[in-house]
Structure 1
Amino acid sequence: MTSVEVLIESRAELGESPVWDAETGCLLWADLYAPAIESWRLADGHRQRWVLPETLGSFGRCDDGRLVVAMRSGIHLFEAASGALEFLCCPPGEPLAGTRFNDGKVGPDGRLLVGTMDEQCRSRPLGSLYSVSRSGETTRLHQGFIVANGLAWSADGRRLYFSDTRRDTLYVADYCLESGAMGAPRVMTVTDPAVHGRPDGGATDVAGGYWSAGVFGGVLNYWDDRGRLARQVSLPCTGPTMPCFGGPNMKTLFVTTLRKGLSEADLAAFPLSGSVLALEVEVPGVPVSTFGGASRHAELAPSSPPALL
């Protein structure tokens, strides 16, 4: 039985986008509606908090030490030490009325992939998935999402996993490291909200598995390389939003959670909703790259790639 602990007590309305910084030994995460980014140092529990001017969607680390941040008005570069915020770009036509940037993650090629969503979480397929280069060039990879979410890459960087939360569907697509192009999405699995929650943020391990936060279901779901549910971990909250691998051996799963949208009964039953959870797993995770940099995905890839879905 997996032991889950409340690592960082918080009352984040919408805790999201955990990012592990191996260089400093810090976990970073966001409270999207505060809006703020926080940092917690593993060695001594030291915390920092930076308030930003707009609603966040997600963020990642840059190769120059800054953060690349998707905010309501577009993609920005943020220097924590000085508080300097530099506008980088915004895809043409974004944001649409009633949409905002959502899940984003830096890929193995150093590009940022970021999705958009219907902010009211209705059934309007207004969301897209964009690729952003270090120079600020944007490319739309796919469209027609309600809530684009769950971005993560396989260990060799050649497969991209993602979800549409409101469609309760996980997808996988081929990914070209050289060009940043994405192949046609294939359905990995259709989830059941009563069993799995709804598929929110995701993270991959070096064995080809995909961990998905089952928001409003209080679980983490582990899907193997063939799209089968191989494990499910119950959590001490009902609203997990995203897992992230970190720690010295990349075997710690950090999980952000939310309070937004929970009933009074849920908040009474889970008063620490909005906190950051942690659990130890057996298989290490795939490191997330830095914006403008490159990763060690090729070194992490298994000698025999897992069977394609």
Structure 2
Amino acid sequence: MPYDGREIGKAEGDGMQEQAKPAFEAEARLVADCRNRLGECCFEDPRDGNLWWTDIEGSCVWRMDRDGNTARFMLPGRAGFILPRREPGFVIGFPKQLALADQSLSSFTRLHDVEPDLPQTRINDAEVDPFGGIVFGTFDETPQMEDRRPVASVYRLGPDGSLKRLFGDVIISNGLAFSPAGDIMYFADTPDGRIRRFRLGADFASLDEIEPLAGRDDAPGLPDGGTVDADGSYWSARVWGGCAVRFDDRGRITARIDLPTKAPTCVTLGGAGRRRLFITTLSTRHSAEELTDVPFAGGVFAADIDRPGLEQRLCTL
């Protein structure tokens, strides 16, 4: 879930640093008019080519096939993430519980409770790691933004089913992604605004933070969901910035995709040759006037881009 920085007095674009014009720019088009309250955690499933994503506040998961046909699956609770397994089915992050789901999303098996002693947090962003586990984070969803505190954490669900806390001091976990070689993990705590990098040891034997990829003022808005392409560049959905941008490994913006809504939430690469960027958005925290001006807020958008993405990794749990 994104962080509405406007509510704590930071105007959109304040302090943004000058950057050279990106080499690639495009406008995203609407591909699914699903009007999600909070679309998130999108991925293209390599098992069947379908695009999947969650509507967290709608307590449902959506699927879109290559022909653009969509289907909605209601869930027993809000899902911060859904990710595919090598076996049929998925791993789902409900607010306080990790669960296995069958392929039809009709049967759920509890794996772990998460932060039962922190009623104000819930599970949010996640990604399959290079070793077959899932790294996910929580966030403080206290209703008043100014009352949110760094009580959330980042965890790893191992391929053996074990659960390990990696680090804490987080408000809103987002932006999780991994480099093509599997040696770098990306992460963003949305209010902080940085896109952080960690060097990984084999099977998470070590996790060492290195220089951030980008700072708070390096792009419009704030970092929400992210993904990495085949060249190792990092795409960031810029919530309240109305765009998704691509950073190279030196933190330079090399591509920008603009949207007709200010609230993109997550990105993934798929389609033919994995050269299509899909972008989820939200419709909550918009005024009635804003929703009149942007009736497709909460939809899924896409743009064809100049470089391919990586195939979605599968959890081996």
User: Could you state the TM-score of these two structures normalised by the residue count of structure 2?
Assistant: 0.87
Percent identical: 30
Secondary structure of the 1:53 match is: coil
Relative distance call for 1:70 and 1:82 in structure 2 (3 A) is closer
Pairwise mapping of residues 33-182 of structure 1 onto structure 2 (< 5 A)? 33-42=57-66, 44-81=67-104, 83-91=106-114, 93-94=115-116, 96-120=118-142, 121-122=145-146, 123-179=148-204, 181-182=206-207
Deviation at 1:230, TM superposition (A): 2.6
Counterpart position of 1:306: none
Which of 225, 234, 259 in structure 1 is aligned with 2:249?
Answer: 225
Aligned position for 2:29 = 5
Please give the alpha-carbon distance, in whole angstroms, between the structure 2 residues aligned to 1:212 and 1:219.
Answer: 9
Shift of 1:186: 3.5
Cα deviation, 1:45-102, whole Å, max 9, x if unaligned, reads: 33222111111111100111211000013100111326110001134x4461211111
Structure 1 runs of 4+ with >4 Å offset = none
Work out the CA distance in 2 between the residues paired with 1:292 and 1:23: 13
* 2: CA distance, partners of 1:126 / 1:185: 22
In 2: Cα distance, 1:232 partner to 1:94 partner: 40
**How far does the alpha carbon of each residue in 1:281-307 deviate from its partner, in whole angstroms, 9 at most, with x for none?**
1111122211117xxxxxxxxxxxxxx
Q: What amino acid sits opposite 1:178 in the alignment?
A: D
The 3 A distance-change label for structure 1 pair 249 and 148 is same
- Partner of 1:268, secondary structure, is helix
Deviation at 1:19, TM superposition (A): 1.3
- Does 131-140 or 147-156 show the bigger shift? 131-140
Equivalent position to 1:250, from 265, 274, 287: 274
2:208 is the alignment partner of 1:183: yes
Amino acid paired to 1:253: L
Contact 1:30 1:37 survives alignment (8 Å): yes
Q: CA RMSD in A?
A: 1.7
Q: CA deviation at 1:33?
A: 1.2
Deviation string for 1:81-132 (max 9, x for gaps)?
Answer: 26110001134x4461211111011111111000000113444001111000
Equivalent residues of 1:202, 1:211 under 8 A apart: yes
**Normalized against structure 1, the TM-score is what?**
0.89
C-alpha separation in 2, matches of 1:28 and 1:223: 24
- Residues 130 and 79 (structure 1 numbering): CA distance in 2 closer, same or farther, change over 3 Å? same
Q: Give the direction of change, closer, same or farther, for the CA distance of 1:157–1:81 in structure 2 (3 Å limit).
A: same
Distance 1:74-1:96 versus aligned 2 partners, 3 A rule: same
Q: Whole-Å Cα distance in 2 between the matches of residues 156 and 20 of structure 1?
A: 20
Alpha-carbon deviations, 1:214-235, whole Å to 9, x = none?
A: 1011011211111122332211
- For structure 2, the residue ranges without an aligned partner over 5 or more in a row are 1-24
Of 105-114 and 261-270, more deviation after overlay is shown by 261-270
Question: How far apart, CA to CA, are the structure 2 residues paired with 1:132 and 1:181?
Answer: 15
| 3-state SS, counterpart of residue 33 of structure 1 | helix
AA aligned to 2:191 is R
Length, aligned pairs only: 290
Q: Which amino acid aligns with 1:80?
A: Q
Say if 1:61 and 1:290, in contact at 8 Å, map to a contact too: yes
